[in-house]
Structure 1
Amino acid sequence: MQRRLELQPRLQAIADWVRPGARIADVGTDHGYLPVWLLQTGVVEYAIASDINESPLEHARRTSREYGQQMEFRLCNGLDGISPQEADTVVIAGMGGENIASILERAPWTREGHMLLLQPMSKPEYLRGFLAGHGYRVTRERLVRDKGVLYPILEAKGGSMATPSPGRLHGGIALASDPLEGEYLSSLIGKLSRAAQGLRQAKDGRERAVELDGIVQELEKMRKEWENANCSAD
């Protein structure tokens, strides 16, 4: 019997959002764990694993052979080597928010009926802002803890949405009911407060410090609203 691949929490959370029968393109696939798991469990029947470097693709090929799964492999930058009709679901995980935005900017066809599952490792605020300003709408978000770190996962598709406030760009557009949002906001408040404090001591950093102070105030308000909505009274 073929042994079952086990995903780490971050990838499992993404896999849980893939629709049964979807045709997926996993961009920056690394070891190919996500598409192999989706094929092995029967969630999908077709998957493309792509990467900009040959070495990760070779890792993905080995993973597919080890677990007895067949999929396509593409050596390309982002979605440059994938055509719109080949996939209806695009996964871009494990990259910085700016890199994910750059990939989507070069593939405007992703706004035309495709489901996007995005997991930025950094700069999620940049990615949220890009989506809002380039014809996408965030349909849902969630937080997942993996190896002690909280990661946001975004589902998006083509459409329009109101420009999020600076606090929402940082703290999440659709995380108000997420059980980890309070902890996530507290972490952001601490991080941005420390950054603002450092900027106030720099010669040219005061304007940015004031900007960060405003974001922190909004995040504190968001945290209070989350506590009121999600924490039961003692």
Structure 2
Amino acid sequence: MERMILTPRLACIAALIPRGARLADIGTDHGKLPVSLLLSGRVAAAIGSDIRQGPLDHAARNAAEHGVALPLRLAAGLEAVRPEECDTVSIAGMGGQTIADILAAAPWTGDGEHLLLLQPMTMVYELRQWFWAHGYMIECETVCREERRYYVVLSVRGGGPVRVVPLSSCAFSPALLQAAGARDYLEKLLQREIRALEGMQSGSAVDRAVLDGQREIVRVIKQAWEELA
């Protein structure tokens, strides 16, 4: 049986999943991540959940074709997953706000007993800010590149202190600065934020507080990027 080929983003998540884990893959789509992990024997069990029936049907076919047992749930977020069914949760390819909403609707994810592997597509700063405000600890950040774009995968666990952190300090975490490829990631991030600042400065009606906040984001990222040289 041929192994399941994963995209760089999914391969990055797969490499972070502990051996013997019981995985709940949320937004599983075609089930490629859990099927691959079951095939390799890396996980002891896996559940796939998605809000749409079409992708779940495809995931069921993938699981059957590869001869693995993958229970599938039609539900939003973690609504159909019980805490005792998993010790690891993966959510990839969703916006940061959606990920925060999913976790907020499942308070047990903050108990410190579940490892959360999260790959946000947007609003990464806001997601980090939400983690810290709700006692989730960012244990590790991993940088991966897919085509021309950089992504981060956050390894998160609940049970930490509640911290109020300004958004300008959420462009990265201390864990990200330890990651391979962190400087390249920050360079791309800095270029993007400089372009955003220049766009604001050329506008005719930009709120001063918003402009100052953007300048601070650029300053913080630039300082971290230079210190990694």
TM-score (norm 1): 0.92
Aligned to 2:190: 189
> After superposition, where does 1:95-174 map in structure 2 within 5 Å?
95-112=94-111, 113-161=113-161, 162-164=163-165, 166-174=167-175
Q: Deviations over 1:49-107 (max 9, x none)?
A: 00011111111111111211111100000001111111110001110111100000000
Q: 1:203 to 1:147 in 2, by over 3 A?
A: same
2:72 corresponds to 1:73: yes
Match of 1:61 in 2: 60
Name the counterpart of 1:176: 177
Aligned CA-pair RMSD: 1.4
The equivalent of 1:231 in structure 2 is none
Question: Which residue type is aligned with residue 157 of structure 2?
Answer: K
> Offset at 1:45?
2.4
Counterpart of 2:90 in structure 1 is 91
* 3-state DSSP of counterpart to 2:170: helix
SS at match of 1:156: strand
- Deviation above 6 Å: which 4+ runs of structure 1? none
Deviation (angstroms), 1:178: 2.2
Select between 101-110 and 158-167 the one with higher mean Cα deviation: 158-167
Identity of paired residues, percent?
39
CA distance in 1: counterparts of 2:86 and 2:178, whole angstroms: 31
Is contact 1:171-1:184 (8 Å) kept?
no
Q: 1: CA distance between counterparts of 2:5 and 2:205?
A: 51
1:205, distance to aligned residue in structure 2 (A): 3.5
Partners of 2:148 and 2:101 in 1: CA distance:
28
Please, what TM-score do these two structures have when normalized by structure 2? 0.94
SS at match of 1:151: strand
Partner of 1:45: 44
Post-superposition offset of 1:177 = 2.6
Range with bigger deviation, 170-179 or 187-196: 170-179
| C-alpha distance after superposition, 1:173-215 (max 9, x if no partner) | 3121323211211111121122122223131343312210111
Structure 2 distance, partners of 1:63, 1:165, is 44
SS in 2 for 1:171: coil
How many residue pairs align between the two structures? 226
Distance (Å, rounded) in 2 between the aligned partners of 1:70 and 1:202:
59
Structure 2 unmatched ranges of 5 or more: none
**Alpha-carbon shift at residue 164 of structure 1 (Å):** 4.7
Between the aligned partners of 2:174 and 2:26, the Cα distance in structure 1 is 24
Q: Is the 8 A contact 1:132 1:164 kept in 2?
A: yes
Letter in 2 for 1:154: L
Partners of 1:210 and 1:184 in 2: CA distance: 23
- How far apart, in 2, do the equivalents of 1:42 and 1:168 lie? 39
